């Protein structure tokens, strides 16, 4: 079985954050990458 994961860079703000939210809203598993680990953890928590 193959599972695809969406990898999003710049996921802590702006277009990256909006993209992460939309993919997660549609049920895609997402991997969030950003320079600010604290903010990206907050984004990830909001998606869960």
Q: How far apart are CA 20 and CA 43, in angstroms?
A: 9
Q: Which helix (H) or strand (E) holds 16?
A: helix 14-25
| Ranges of each domain in the chain | 6-47
**CA neighbor of 19 nearest in space, from 37, 35, 34:** 34
Q: Are the C-beta atoms of residues 19 and 34 closer than 8 Å to each other?
A: no
Rounded to whole angstroms, the maximal C-alpha distance in the chain is 34
16-46 residue pLDDT tens: 999 999 999 999 999 999 999 999 999 999 9
Structure confidence at residue 12 (pLDDT): 92
pLDDT at 48 over 90: no
């Amino acid at each position: 079985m193959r599972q695809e994961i969406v990898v999003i860079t710049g996921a802590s703000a702006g277009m990256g954050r909006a993209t992460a939210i939309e993919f997660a809203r549609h049920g895609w598993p997402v991997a969030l990458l950003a320079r600010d680990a604290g903010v990206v953890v907050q984004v990830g928590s909001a998606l869960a």
